[in-house]
């Protein structure tokens, strides 16, 4: 494996799991730099006004970061693990932009997406909305505290729509509602076995832990 993606809805634990894998397997870690985006706090205060600049800035940041890191994997790391994939831009934009803005955004996205490296395995951590909201509350980011259940459900539906259209790399959807991989070593081992010790077909694969 050269390029592993760990994805999920807001609050699913994708960053934490990516960090754990990177540490255990000496992988090069790529984390989304969302905290540095000046439009994000403004977006949560006024979505209609700041959606388009936010999504364009994320598009540019994700493109430059992923393409640079994947194409320049060094000899000191066994593989690259990222807590997001470039397609995330289209998924979130679909749920935040007006139709005319989204059509323009999608045109730009499609041009860029063709040249993006594809992951060897794309893992999606699936959690129910109530658990996502609990995790969001616990980590205490001020600009996330007003996220509504309906918004999380729209994002989840966007991911599933993307999965149905994707056949060029394997997608592993893991239901993690009944496990705590952060605090339970046995649960974490189950996740490691699922990701690193099994083979998956192109397109959608499902697993409940």
Summarised one tens digit per residue, pLDDT across range 24-34 is: 999 999 998 76
| Least trusted range by pLDDT, from 17-31, 44-58, 180-194 | 44-58
Query: What are 53's two structure tokens?
Result: 């600049």
Average pLDDT, the chain: 90
Task: Find residue 173's DSSP bridge partners.
Answer: 124, 206
Distance of alpha carbon 163 from alpha carbon 173, whole angstroms:
9
Contact 11, 136 (CB under 8 A): yes
Mean pLDDT of 7-13: 94
Q: What gap in Å lies between CA 139 and CA 155, rounded to an integer?
A: 20
207 phi, psi to nearest 5 deg? -150, 135
**Tokens 């995330």 — which residue?**
88
Phi/psi at 2 (5° precision): -110, -35
Instruction: Tell me how many domains the chain contains.
Output: 1
Mean pLDDT to the nearest integer, 130-150 = 83
Q: How far apart are CA 100 and CA 79, in angstroms?
A: 39
Instruction: Give the pLDDT of residue 1.
Output: 86
pLDDT of residue 27: 94
Residues paired with 47 in a beta bridge: none
- Give the confidence band of 35 by pLDDT, cuts at 50, 70, 90: low
Check residue 143 and give its pLDDT.
Answer: 67
Which residues constitute the domain of residue 26? 3-208
- How far apart are the C-alpha atoms of 169 and 4, rounded to whole Å? 11
User: Whole-angstrom Cα distance, residue 125 to residue 146?
Assistant: 22
Percent of the chain at pLDDT > 90 equals: 62
**pLDDT at position 70 over 80:** no
Over residues 82-126, the pLDDT tens digits come to: 999 988 889 989 988 999 999 999 999 999 888 888 999 999 999
Report the CATH number at residue 165.
Answer: 3.40.50.300
With cut-offs at 50, 70 and 90, classify the pLDDT of residue 36.
confident
Residues found in the chain: 209
């Amino acid at each position: 494996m050269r390029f592993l993606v760990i994805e999920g809805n807001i609050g699913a634990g994708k960053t934490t799991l990516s960090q754990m894998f990177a540490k255990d397997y000496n992988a090069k870690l790529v984390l989304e730099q969302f905290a540095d985006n000046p439009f994000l706090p403004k977006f949560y205060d006024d979505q209609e006004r700041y959606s388009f600049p936010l999504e364009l800035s994320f598009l540019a940041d994700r493109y430059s970061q992923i393409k640079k890191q994947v194409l320049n994997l060094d000899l000191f790391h066994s593989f690259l693990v990222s807590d997001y994939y470039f397609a995330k831009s289209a998924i979130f934009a679909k749920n935040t932009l007006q139709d005319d803005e989204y059509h323009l955004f999608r045109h730009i996205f499609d041009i860029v997406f063709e040249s993006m490296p594809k992951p060897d395995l794309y893992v999606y951590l699936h959690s129910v909305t109530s658990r996502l909201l609990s995790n969001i509350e616990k980590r205490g980011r001020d600009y996330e505290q007003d996220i509504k259940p309906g918004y999380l459900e729209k994002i989840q539906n966007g991911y599933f729509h993307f999965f149905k259209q994707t056949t060029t790399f394997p997608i592993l959807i893991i239901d993690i509602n009944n496990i705590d991989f952060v605090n339970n070593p046995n649960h974490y081992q189950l996740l490691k076995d699922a990701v690193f010790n099994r083979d998956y077909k192109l397109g959608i694969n499902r697993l409940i832990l």
